Structure 1
């Protein structure tokens, strides 16, 4: 049996078993990433499958996964509908996220000065996006105020899109510093790539959304065909940009924003097939992560690696959140709760795989992959098992707050579409959009 067949059978079997027990596993605080990473570790260590982190098919699956999720998340970005939640969301995204990258850069350079500032900044940007799916209980536990749950989910859905251009530009900078670009200017190369992405986003995501809306208005489409059309638009944004040397991820994210802006609410709700496909593809990435990256990372990790990983999950996240929300009226428990629940997950793993592909097997790349892998692994365990008890404890504290407290003023149900899929909780499916 070849490796591709073995991996396919392993994936299908693992998905089936997990799907049959998803709700019971969720009650035990066992998340989907936990399950599929363990499957990957066991399969890799026992020789059931052999997965190399730099194989072409894995990178393709990872890139498509990120493109689909970027498009679907961005298509639901409707700040007018967020209402009072707009302020804290923008604070976390526009103040907290940049500060996290700055703080992470300082920490990474302090630990590994031999790799330079560009590599330190790349590590920080790779570790900056959060993944609410790793602590699903936080955004599905109704004891936590709906405003806090919604905020964490909105932040998680959008900060990977904001971090993506930073990561891709820094990969180019590191490649330039290591002489991989030759005589090319990294700034010109990055600007050209981003400019192409913007053009593709407008042409595919924007125009495609407008055409789909027109066709729907004239009765040409069906609900199923609309879901397929949205899926096709997401992939077209990515692959069209890549085909003409643009940044496919930026094109997918901006294309999703353009689609969401020009499409109506009914069409924005047609991303379910895109999200589900992206979710299934993410299981492949998690299995490959366990099989190919976890073992080598744990074997090569040093004390400095763990310092960066622990710092990224604590001070590098919590302090920027506290600064971003200063003066907003949140109590210290809320600041700590939001600061702690910034899990690092799928986007970080995919960024590490992309860096490995673009930069090749070098000392800098090994360092990047090890730090990313250890951080994600720690986050899977800490945020997975800690989500439910901490959510319950915080919920009890929040229940003592008056109704006009900043944490409780907004009562709009949280948007938890992707989280609900992983937690197998139908009552938590997206109710807005």
Structure 2
């Protein structure tokens, strides 16, 4: 059976590679495509491949993949660019993000008032981070204003890293069955976050010095550059975890420090060249999510409230908070504001958070998360191309 699964996966990647442009024209994004591949595999091997149990063996690989994306997203944020055009990203991160979290929490409480506030808060933080990979059609569309694309990209690159400490705090509280006491919270901040920041600072400083030394003495080989980013992300994540800190916080912090300390060379594009390798593993996770979703949907008791929550959480609770946070910002028209608000798809971070919770979940948290992520993948995937093309018409009218 393993070889048949490998054949299907390899064929899926081959077909995706040779028909990338046609799939884009058909408004089928990468995550949509690979979720469907995962569903197909689970349906074909329905008797042999049952992913109803926690994915303990695969979770380390999934977590490492998220660490790579946290590092690369933070490293390509370009702090220098952010310093010049910081207003919109800061509004999105420090006003829009909290409002989205509380709005999701509130909707969860209105629809599932019997559930504990802690469990609903955990659902909310799982679904708060966004993934720009699901809206690449917008990011690549030249007709879309630069400030809109930059806002979506920067917010997506930074908000998952900001959500990690909150998720870890809520996850630990939920496992303990009650909100952590102030002393426990302080201990959590000092250990989980403090160790992560300290290890990330040391490792990244040494690494950037070594990279600079290697480049100056021509030890550097352009062909091996993608391995630098992957190895740095994994080292930062693993060292922090081994020391008792948060690997996700370490990977994210290291990416920000790398962006600040690394002296970029035009001929060597470290981040860009490593992203293709990371995308491969991300698409594998989307396949896994599709297969897992197939089996979960067989056991989920679909109710009106669950479906309503998924649709509202994938759209309204993101759009309204962001529009409210951008209300007083006069530098954009309503269409630009709505585009930024609309493109907050849930992706890799939400999947990893969900898989981390599944082991001790009684069902509802993972069910709501899976349904929302699934709704987001297809809602945002289908609407990406039409919204991007609408900007082409706007420009042609001008």
* Counterpart pick for 1:341 among 320, 328, 343: 343
Partner of residue 46, structure 1? 44
| 8 Å CA contact 2:59, 2:355 repeated in 1 | yes
Report the Cα distance in structure 2 between the residues aligned to 1:47 and 1:121, rounded to whole angstroms.
Answer: 36
| 8 Å CA contact 2:77, 2:157 repeated in 1 | no
Partner of residue 356, structure 1? 358
Bigger drift between 221-230 and 373-382 goes to 221-230
Consecutive unaligned residues of structure 1, counting only runs of 5 or more, are: 402-433
1:388 counterpart = 2:390? no
Report the Cα distance in structure 1 between the residues aligned to 2:393 and 2:220, rounded to whole angstroms.
Answer: 48
Partner of residue 244, structure 2? 245
Bigger drift between 224-233 and 282-291 goes to 224-233
Root-mean-square deviation (CA), in Å? Answer: 2.4
What displacement does 1:6 show?
4.4
- 1:7-46 matches, within 5 Å, as 7-46=5-44
Report the Cα distance in structure 1 between the residues aligned to 2:52 and 2:14, rounded to whole angstroms.
Answer: 25
Partner of residue 210, structure 2? 211
Partner of residue 307, structure 2? 306
Change (3 A) 1:10 1:164: farther
| 8 Å CA contact 1:317, 1:340 repeated in 2 | yes
**1:281-304 CA distances to partner (integer Å, 9 max, x unpaired)?**
111111111111244247333222
What displacement does 1:153 show?
1.6
What displacement does 1:327 show?
1.8
What displacement does 1:191 show?
3.6
Report the Cα distance in structure 2 between the residues aligned to 1:214 and 1:120, rounded to whole angstroms.
Answer: 50
Report the Cα distance in structure 2 between the residues aligned to 1:160 and 1:105, rounded to whole angstroms.
Answer: 17
Report the Cα distance in structure 2 between the residues aligned to 1:50 and 1:295, rounded to whole angstroms.
Answer: 7
**1:63-89 CA distances to partner (integer Å, 9 max, x unpaired)?**
111001111111122232246532111
**1:187-237 CA distances to partner (integer Å, 9 max, x unpaired)?**
524541111111111121232122222222232222233432332111100
Report the Cα distance in structure 2 between the residues aligned to 1:156 and 1:240, rounded to whole angstroms.
Answer: 25
Q: Tell me how many residue pairs correspond in the alignment.
A: 391
Compute the TM-score of the two structures, normalised by the length of structure 2.
0.91
Bigger drift between 48-57 and 289-298 goes to 48-57
What displacement does 1:10 show?
3.0
| 8 Å CA contact 2:5, 2:41 repeated in 1 | no
Partner of residue 66, structure 1? 66
Change (3 A) 1:205 1:304: farther
Secondary structure of 1:300's aligned partner: coil
Report the Cα distance in structure 2 between the residues aligned to 1:399 and 1:200, rounded to whole angstroms.
Answer: 52
Bigger drift between 330-339 and 22-31 goes to 330-339
Change (3 A) 1:11 1:262: same
Change (3 A) 1:135 1:294: farther
Secondary structure of 1:148's aligned partner: helix
| 8 Å CA contact 1:79, 1:86 repeated in 2 | no
Secondary structure of 2:154's aligned partner: helix
Partner of residue 369, structure 2? 372
Partner of residue 422, structure 1? none
Change (3 A) 1:82 1:188: closer
Report the Cα distance in structure 1 between the residues aligned to 2:134 and 2:390, rounded to whole angstroms.
Answer: 18
- 1:395-406 matches, within 5 Å, as 395-397=392-394
1:132 counterpart = 2:129? no
Consecutive unaligned residues of structure 2, counting only runs of 5 or more, are: none
Report the Cα distance in structure 2 between the residues aligned to 1:77 and 1:143, rounded to whole angstroms.
Answer: 21
Change (3 A) 1:381 1:100: same
Partner of residue 421, structure 1? none
| 8 Å CA contact 1:37, 1:286 repeated in 2 | yes
Report the Cα distance in structure 2 between the residues aligned to 1:53 and 1:348, rounded to whole angstroms.
Answer: 19
Report the Cα distance in structure 2 between the residues aligned to 1:290 and 1:6, rounded to whole angstroms.
Answer: 17
| 8 Å CA contact 1:125, 1:166 repeated in 2 | yes
Compute the TM-score of the two structures, normalised by the length of structure 1.
0.84
Secondary structure of 2:38's aligned partner: helix
What displacement does 1:45 show?
1.8
